[in-house]
Amino acid sequence: MAQAETIRFEIQRYKRPVDVFENDLVARLPGLLITQFQVPIIEHPDGIGGMLALRFDFTEEWYSVIAFLNNDKSPAGHYRITAQSPLREERNLCKTSDLVLGMEVRPNSNYIITGEEEFCAAVEEGWMRVYAAANAREALRKLSAMLDEGRLPQEVMDAVCG
C-alpha cells in the first residue's frame, strides 16, 4: 500500500507564531490544492474534534475553505472559511498569510463573520497592506453572497457533495 503524499504548509499569522503543518494530498488541480486532515479532539470542543476535514486552498482566490466531514465522509454541514493571500508554492512548501477575517458556517446554513476587531488592528498597525485588506473584505463579501444563495464555491460543492 502506497503512503499518501503530504503537503507542507506555512501560514503567517497576525500576532501569533508562524503555523507550520502537514496535510495529506487529496488533489492538485489548476488553481486549487485539496488536502485532508484529522481535526484534533482537544482543540475543538464545539463538536468538530475528531472529524475528517478537507482543506481547499486556492492560488488565485483570497480565501481557503475547510469542510468538516462525518465519520461516513458525508458533509457535516460545518465549514470554516479564512481570508488568506493566494497560496504560493516555494521549495515544496505551500505558503500563505492568514488575513484574520473568517466565517463559521453551521449545518443550518447560518454563518457568522469572525476576526473583525483583530483585522482592523492588523490593518491599523501596518501588519497587513491595504491591498490585502481590500481583497480579504471582497472575498468575504463574495462568499457571503454565495452563502445567502445557499451555496459554496463550486469546487467545494463538487468535492464535498459529490
Over the stretch 65-94, which tens digit does the pLDDT of each residue have?
999 998 888 899 999 999 999 999 988 899
Residue with more model confidence, 113 or 90: 113
Report the alpha-carbon distance of residue 39 to residue 46 in Å, rounded: 12
More confident residue, 40 or 110: 110
Q: pLDDT-based confidence at 49, cuts 50/70/90?
A: low
Among the listed residues 104, 94, 97, 96, the one whose alpha carbon sits nearest the alpha carbon of residue 140: 104
Q: What is the pLDDT of residue 92?
A: 82
pLDDT at position 48, please? Answer: 62
What's the rounded Cα separation, in Å, for the pair 23 and 34? 9
pLDDT digits (tens, 9 = 90+) for 127-156: 999 999 999 999 999 999 999 998 999 899
- pLDDT of 117 higher than 80: yes
Q: What's the confidence (pLDDT) of residue 135?
A: 98
Other C-beta atoms within 10 Å of 113: how many?
Answer: 15
Q: Which residues pair with 55 in a beta bridge?
A: 35, 66
Residue with cell 503555523: 19
What confidence score (pLDDT) does residue 46 get? 58
- Predicted confidence (pLDDT) at residue 162 exceeds the cutoff of 80: no
pTM of the model: 0.92
Low-confidence winner among 5-9, 88-92, 122-126, 157-161 (lowest mean pLDDT): 157-161
CATH number attached to the domain at 6-161: 2.40.380.10
Domain residue spans of the chain: 6-161
